[in-house]
Amino acid sequence: METQTHKAHRPAQSGSKAEKKGKGKQKTGFNEKAFAPKSGRRADRQARRNVERDQARLHVPLINRTPDDNPPPVIVAIVGPPGVGKTTLLKSLVRRYSKQTLSETKGPITVVAGKKRRLTFIECNNDLNSMVDIGKVADLVLLMIDGSYGFEMESFEFLNILQAHGFPKVIGVLTHLDLVKKQATLKATKKLLKKRFWNEIYQGAKLFYLSGVLNGRYPDTEILNLSRFISVMKFRPLIFRNCHPYLLADRIEDLTPREEIRKSKGRCDRTVTLYGYLRGTNLRQSTKVHIPGVGDMNIKTVAMLGDPCPLPDADSEKRRKLSEKKKLLVHAPMSDVGGVMYDKDAVWINVPGSFTRGVTDVPQGEGEQMVIDLQDVNETLEDTVARSKIRLFGSSSHPLTIDARRDDEESSDLADESDSEGNSEFDEEEEGFSEDEQDDAESDEEDEQPCRDPINGNAGRYAVRTTVRPTYGLSSKEKDTGDVAFADSDSELGLSDDEGNGEGGQVMYADNEKGIPSDDERDVDDEDEDEDDAPAWKSGLAAKASAAFEALNRQRRRKDWIAMIYSSSLSPEQVINGTDTTAVESDVIDDDFFRVDSSTSMNEDNLDMTKEVQSSSALRELEDEDVLDSLRTLFITGDHDTSGGADQEMNIHEDSEPGDLTKLEAGEAQFASAEFEGIDTETRALVEGYRPGTYVRIELASVPCEFIEHFDPHYPIIIGGLLPAEERMGYLQVRIKRHRWFARTLKTNDPLIFSLGWRRFQSVPIYSLDDHSIRMRMLKYTPEHMHCFASFYGPVALPNTGFCAFNALSGETAAFRVSATGVVLNIDRSTKIVKKLKLTGVPFKIFKNTAFIRDMFSSPLEVAKFEGASIRTVSGIRGQVKKALNKPEGAFRATFEDKVLMSDIVFLRAWYSIQPRKFYNPVTSLLLSNKSHWSGMRLTGQIRREEGLKTPLAVNSAYKPIERPARRFNALKVPKKLQSALPYASKPKLMKPQGKRTYMQTRAVVLEPEEKKAIALLQQIRALRKDQVARRRGKQQERKETHRKKVEKDEAKKAEKEREKKKEYMKAAGMKSKREADIEEGRSSKRRKT
C-alpha cells in the first residue's frame, strides 16, 4: 500500500468562508447566555454590584489648574534604597531623552519628552527628610526595588509618606534581576514582589523589570518601554498642590555682596536666588513661602526668565516627531551637562578637550597655550593686587599702575570692546585676575558655541552665561580644591563675579523690557488714540446728548483705573473727582499746613458710613421728564435697542452659575489667560501673579548663611507657597492613629516630628478622646488600633490636610520610622482638653449624714469655689460639699446620703484643663552640614542615656514594704441575762472547735498475732513491688539515653547543613555590598576622570 501524501489544509484567507469563520469565532468568544443571570435575585445582585462599582469609580471633580499650553515639567522622582540603581536609571533615562551621558547627576534634571511634555527627574537620597520633601512634589514616583533582595523598610516608609500627602502616581521598578540565577526562583520572586507591591499601591499597579546593566546603563529597549509609559501617564490633580504654588529649585545662587560676607566672616544672612519652574497655582509676589528644611521667607522679587528647556514650538509642531535637535535639550544646572555646572555662587564650565594639559593632539595656539599656562598660576589674587603691577604687553618693560578696583569694574567693558585686546599678549605671571577671567570666559564661550547651541538659545541663559567663572581644565579633584581656595580667600574675585552677575541681570531685564511695552508707553498710546478718536465719536453722539455729559464721559473713559488706584498717591476722593495730576502737584507744592487743615475739616463730616450723601443736584436732575424717559431702556418694559435681549443673557448667566463641573475641569486656565490677554506683562503679574509653567527666579533676602555654606545638590530644595492662613500659628486638633508598624505607643507630651503641609516640625502633642461628647479627655498614651485626637501648637494648616509623624528622622534605627498618620480637623487659639483630677480628704467628725472633711482643700476660698460639688466615698456613698469650716484651714461640711465611716476616704472628681505646650521647632535639616543628623528636642530619658546619667530617685519614690496593721474588731459581748432572754435563733452559739481530747482519741490499741503477720506480709509484698518498679525505670532510662544520642547525632547533622546554607547566603550578601561599594567607587573614579 502506497503512502498517500495529503495536501495540508489551508484555511481560506479571504472570501466568504474566511469572513464566516471570523464571525463565528467572534461569536464563540462571547457567549451571551453564559453571562446571563440565572435567577432574578442574581440579576438584581449583579446589577447592584455594577452600580456600586460605577459609583466607586466616580470622584469629586477637581479643577486642574495646570495650564494646557505650557505646563510645568512633570516631576519624576526616582526613589529607592541605596545601591538599587537609581543613578543608573536616571542616567539611562536622561540618555534616552537627550542623547547625553551625564557624568554626575545632582539636583533636578529637566528634559523634553514630547510635544507637550517635559520631565524633571530627581533622585531621592536615602534621607527621610528628602523622602518627605520629594513625596510632596513628585508627580510620578519610580519606586526602585532590588529584586534580588526584596522590599526594604525605606520603601514602605516612603509609601506611607506618600499616602499622607496625597498619593502621586507610582511605578515600581525591579532591578538586579540578573542576580537571580534560577529561572524558577526569578519567576517566584517577581510574583511575590508584584503581589506585595500591588497590596501597597493598588491591584494592577505597574511594575517594571529591569534586567541588567550594560555599559553603565540599563538595556535601551527596557528604558524605551519605561519612557513610553512615563510619556502617556495621566495625572490627577492633588488637592494640596492644586491650591498652593510651589517650585522645585533647580539652581541656586548667592547674591550677597562678597564684602559683607567677608566682614562677617561668612556669618551674615544671605540674599539667595532660586530658579525653577512654577507649579501648582499662580504665585504672587506677596506670597510668603516656606522652604522645607530652612524656614519661612518673604519673597523679595520674582522675575520671569526665558525657559531654559522650552517645549517645541509651532514650527516643529507640524512635524510628527520631535526633531533630534529638540531632543537634545536638557536642563540640569546642578549636574555638569555639557561641561556647564551651576554652583551656588558660580557657573562652572568644564572643557576637557582643548585646554587640558598634556593633550598633544589638539593644536595649541597662543591663546590655548596661555589658558593652559594659567593653570600654573600659583599666586592668589590678593598678592597680585598687592603688587598691582601690570604690563600691558608681554614685551613692554614698564608695568602699568592701575587702580585695581576700577580695573575690575571696567574689565567687562574692556573685553566687550576689543576682543583682540582681551586675547592679546598678557603676561601670565602678573596680569590682573579679572582680565584673564574675562578673557577665559570669552574664549570658553567661543569654544563652547557649537555645543551650546542645542542646549539653549534664549536670552535668559545667555545673560547668565556672562557670569562664567573658569575651571582650569583640571581633573575634578583638583578643581574642587581650587574652588575651596578661591571661595575662601578671593573676596575680590567674588566681587567681580558679582558685578558680572548684576550685569547679567541687567541684560536680562533689558530684554524683558523690550518684549513688554512699558506702562508709560501704553498710556501715551492710549491717550493718543483717544485724542484721535475723540472728534469722530463726539460728532456722532453730539446729536444724541448734551456736550457736557459727553465731556464728562470722555474724562471718565480716559481714566486708567488700575494705575490710579494702585500706583498713584491720589486720595480716593481725588481719584473719583478726576483731579488732574497737575492740580495734585500744585496741592502738594502748597504748604503742608493747609493740607492738614483741609483733611481735618474733612474728618469732621466724613464719618465712616456706607450710605453716600446724595448730592441734591444729581437728584434734581431726575425730576426732569426727559431724563426719566431716558431711563426707560434700563427696564424690561423699555424698548430693546440691543438685539441680544435680556432673556438670552440670562440664560448665559444661568449656564455659568451652577458650575458645570466637567466644564470646570476642562479649561479654567484658558479662560484665565484669555481674561488678561490685553494687559501688559507687569500689570498682569500684579493681577494674576506668575502662572505655573513659567521659569522664574525667586530672590529671597535674609536666608541663613548655613543654607548656602552647607548646600548639597543631592538634597531637594522646595519653595512652597503659603496661604495667608498658613502663616499663622495656633493650636491644631488632628485625628491621629499610631502606625501599626511602629513598635512603641506614643505618649502625651513626648515630642513628635510632624510633616504637615510644606512643613516639617517638631511639636509636643497631647492625645485625647471624646468622652461621651461631654469633654475632651486627655489620654496618656495613644490607644491601640484606634484613632484618637491630638492637639499641638504649630503653624496652621487647612482642615483636611493629611500629615505623617515621626519620632526620629535619623536613619540609625532599623525599625519603621513613621510613627503616626492623620488628618487636621480643627484650628483654634485654645484647646479644651481636660484630665481627671481626684481630690481626696478624710472625715474628722461624723454626725448622722453630715461629716466634716479635712485635707481636701487648703483654704476656705478653695472650698467656696467647690460649694455644691458632688463628692463620693470609696465605698460609694455620694454626697455634696456644703460650706467651709472655720477651724482647720480648708475643712468643710459635707452631707452624704448615708452615714460615712471615719475610715472612709472621701474624694472629689474634678476635671483639670490642660493646654499643649507652645513648642514649635522647625526641622532645619538643610542648614546642617550633616543633613541627615538633625536632632530636635530629646526626651529626658534619651538625654540621660546619651549623657550617661542615672535617673535621680527621690527617697519617697522608693518602694518599701507597706505595713498595714490588721484592723481589730472587739468581740461582741452579750450579757448573760440578756442571752437567756433571747430566743434560740438569736442566741450566740458556740462555734469554736472542741478543745478536749475525746475518749476515742485517748484509748490504747493492741494488735493480735494474726494481725501482725498480715501486716508483715503486706510489707514484704510492697517491698518486692518497689524493687520491680525501680528496675523497670532503670531500663527505661537506658532506652531513653540511646534515643537521645541518636537524636543528637541527627541535630548535629542538621546544624551542619544550616551553617552551610547561611554561609552561602552571607556570601551572596557580601557580594552585593561589595558591588555597591564598587558602584560608589566607580562614581568617584569617574568623577576623578573628568
Partner 1 sequence: MRTGSLVNFSGHQYLRQRLVLSIISGKHVRIEKIRSEDKNPGLRDYEVSLLRLLEKVTNGTVIEISVTGTAVLLKPGVVFGGPVTHDCPLSRSIGYFLEPLIMIAPFSKKPFQLTLRGITTDDSDLSADLIRTVTLPHLQLFGISDGLELRIKKRGAPPEGGGEVQFICPVVKEVKTLNFVEPGRIKRIRGIAHSVRVNPQFSNRMIEASRSVLNRFIPDIYLYSDVYKGDESGKSPGYALSLLAESTTSAIHCSEAVSKPGETPEDIALLATRALLSEIRHGGCVDRKHQSLVLLMMVLGSEDIGRCRMGEPSVRTIQFLRDIKIFFGTVFNIAPADQSDPSNVELLYSCLGTGYVNVNRTLA
Please, which of residues 595-614 interact with partner 1 by CB under 8 A? 596, 600, 603, 606-612, 614
DSSP per position, 202-233: -TT--EEE----BTTB--HHHHHHHHHHHHH-
Instruction: Give the CA count within 13 Å in the CB-facing half-sphere of 170.
Output: 28
Q: Which residues from 117-176 bind partner 1, rule CB under 8 A?
A: none
CB of 584 to partner 1, least distance (A): 15
As measured in angstroms, the least distance from the Cβ of 735 to partner 1 is 7
Residue 689 binds partner 1, judged by CB under 8 A:
yes
Closer residue to partner 1 in complex, CB, 484/636: 636
| Binding of residue 675 to partner 1 (CB under 8 A) | yes
If the CB atoms of residues 246 and 742 are measured against partner 1, the closer one turns out to be 246
Applying CB under 8 A, the site for partner 1 has a residue count of 98
Can residue 659 be called a binding residue for partner 1 (CB under 8 A)?
A: yes
**Antiparallel, parallel or unpaired: β 775-779 and 833-846:** parallel
Site for partner 1 in 180-239 (CB under 8 A): none
Interface with partner 1, residue 798, by CB under 8 A: yes
How far is residue 588's CA from residue 572's CA, in Å, rounded to a whole number? Answer: 16
Residue 32 or 625: which CB sits closer to partner 1?
625
The one among 180, 268, 516, 672 contacting partner 1 by CB under 8 A:
672
Element holding 899 (H helix, E strand): none
CB 1090 within 8 A of CB 349: no
Nearer to partner 1, 828 or 1064 (CB): 828
Check: CB of residue 832 under 8 Å from CB of residue 769.
Answer: no
Q: Pick from 65, 120, 430: which is nearest to 249 by CA? A: 120
We find the least distance from the C-beta atom of residue 553 to partner 1, in angstroms, to be: 6
Contact 854, 871 (CB under 8 A): no
Q: Measured from the CB atom, is 459 or 570 closer to partner 1? A: 570
When asked if residue 546 is in the footprint of partner 1 (CB under 8 A), the reply is no
Among 117, 196, 206, 288, binds partner 1 (CB under 8 A): 288
Please identify, using beta-carbon distances, which residue of 147 and 689 lies nearer to partner 1. Answer: 689
Q: Is 970 in the site for partner 1 (CB under 8 A)?
A: no
Residue 499 · residue 409 · CB < 8 Å: yes
Cell of 986: 438569736
Q: Which parts of 394-423 interact with partner 1 (CB under 8 A)?
A: none
Q: Which stretch binds partner 1 (CB under 8 A): 317-325, 476-484, 722-730, 999-1007?
A: 722-730
Site stretch for partner 1 (CB under 8 A), options 166-174, 447-455, 641-649, 984-992: 641-649
Residues 609-638 that bind partner 1 (CB under 8 A): 609-612, 614, 618-619, 622-623, 628, 631-638
Site for partner 1 in 547-576 (CB under 8 A): 553-554, 556-557, 561-562, 565-566, 572-573, 575-576
Q: Which is nearer to partner 1, 288 or 710 (CB)?
A: 288
**Of residues 76-105, which lie at the interface with partner 1 (CB under 8 A)?**
none
Of 101 and 800, the one with the shorter C-beta distance to partner 1 is: 800
Three-state SS sequence of 807-849: CCCCCCCCCCCEEEEEEEEEEECCCCEEEEEEEEEEEEEECCC
Integer-rounded Cα Rg, in Å, for the chain is: 44
In the complex with partner 1, the residue whose CB is nearer, 333 or 795, is: 795
Calpha distance 150→193 (Å, rounded): 7
CA distances 420 to 33, 439, 445, Å, are 90, 10, 15
Nearest to residue 895, comparing CAs of 911, 873, 865?
A: 873
Contact call for residues 1087 and 104 (beta carbons, < 8 A)? yes
CB of 271 to partner 1, least distance (A): 19
- Is 670 a binding residue for partner 1 by CB under 8 A? The answer is no
The correct pick among 362, 510, 588, 725 for binding partner 1 (CB under 8 A) is 725
Residue numbers 804-823 binding partner 1 by CB under 8 A = 823
Half-sphere exposure of 17 (CA within 13 A, CB side): 4
Q: What is the closest distance, in whole angstroms, from the C-beta atom of residue 522 to partner 1 in the complex?
A: 13
User: Phi and psi dihedrals of 449, rounded to 5?
Assistant: -40, -55
> Cβ 574 to partner 1, closest distance in Å?
10
Give yes or no for a contact between 231 and 665, defined as CB atoms under 8 angstroms apart. no
Query: Distance (Å, rounded) from C-alpha 845 to C-alpha 87?
Result: 83
For position 652 contacting partner 1 by CB under 8 A, the verdict is yes
Q: In angstroms, rounded to a whole number, what is the distance separating the alpha carbons of residues 699 and 346? A: 16
Pairwise CA distance, residues 433 & 496, whole Å:
10
**Which x/- pattern over 728-747 shows residues binding partner 1 (rule: CB under 8 A)?**
xxx--x-x------------
Question: Which member of 49, 653, 865, 1074 binds partner 1 (CB under 8 A)?
Answer: 653
Copy the grid coordinates of residue 305.
526668565
* Contacts of partner 1 in 445-464 (CB under 8 A): none
The answer to the question of residue 795 lying near partner 1 (CB under 8 A) is: yes
Using rule CB under 8 A, residue 34 touches partner 1:
no
Residue 629 Cβ vs partner 1, minimum distance, rounded to whole Å: 8
User: Of 63, 153, 414, 846, which lies in the binding site for partner 1, with binding defined by CB under 8 A?
Assistant: 63
Residue of 537, 594, 847, 1065 that binds partner 1 (CB under 8 A): 537
**542 contacts partner 1 (rule: CB under 8 A):** no
In the complex with partner 1, the residue whose CB is nearer, 451 or 687, is: 687
Burial of 402 (0-12, 13-18, 19+ CB in 10 A): middle
Site for partner 1 in 757-776 (CB under 8 A): none
Report the C-alpha gap between 441 and 452 in whole angstroms: 14
Q: Is 2 or 657 the residue whose CB approaches partner 1 more closely?
A: 657
Give the shortest CB-290-to-partner 1 separation in angstroms.
8
Tell me the CB-side half-sphere exposure of residue 780, using CA atoms within 13 A.
1
- Footprint (CB under 8 A) of partner 1, residues 825-864: 825-830
Q: How far is the CB of 539 from partner 1 (least distance, A)?
A: 12
Q: Which of 229, 462, 676, 907 binds partner 1 (CB under 8 A)?
A: 676
Q: What is the Cα–Cα distance from 433 to 385, expressed in whole angstroms?
A: 9
- Which of positions 484-523 make contact with partner 1 (CB under 8 A)? none
Cα end-to-end distance, the chain, whole Å: 81
Please report, as residue ranges, which positions from 901 to 960 form the binding site for partner 1 (by CB under 8 A).
920, 922
- Which one of the spans 53-61, 301-309, 321-329, 651-659 is the region binding partner 1 (CB under 8 A)? 651-659
3-state secondary structure 851-862: EEEECCCCCHHH
Query: Is the sign of the CA dihedral 235, 240, 245, 251 positive or negative?
Result: negative
688 in contact with partner 1 (CB under 8 A): yes
Neighbours of 388 (CB within 10 A): 16
Closest by CA to 751, choosing from 701, 808, 836, is: 808
* Closer Cβ to partner 1, 223 or 703, answer by number: 703
Q: Site map for partner 1, 866-905, x if CB under 8 A?
A: ----------------------------------------
**CA-CA distances (angstroms) from residue 781 to 736, 750, 821, 837?**
12, 10, 15, 17
| Neighbour count for residue 133 (Cβ, 10 Å) | 28
Q: Minimum Å distance from CB 532 to partner 1? A: 13
For partner 1, the closer CB: 556 or 1044: 556
Are the beta carbons of 879 and 906 closer than 8 angstroms?
yes
- CB closer to partner 1, 560 vs 712: 560
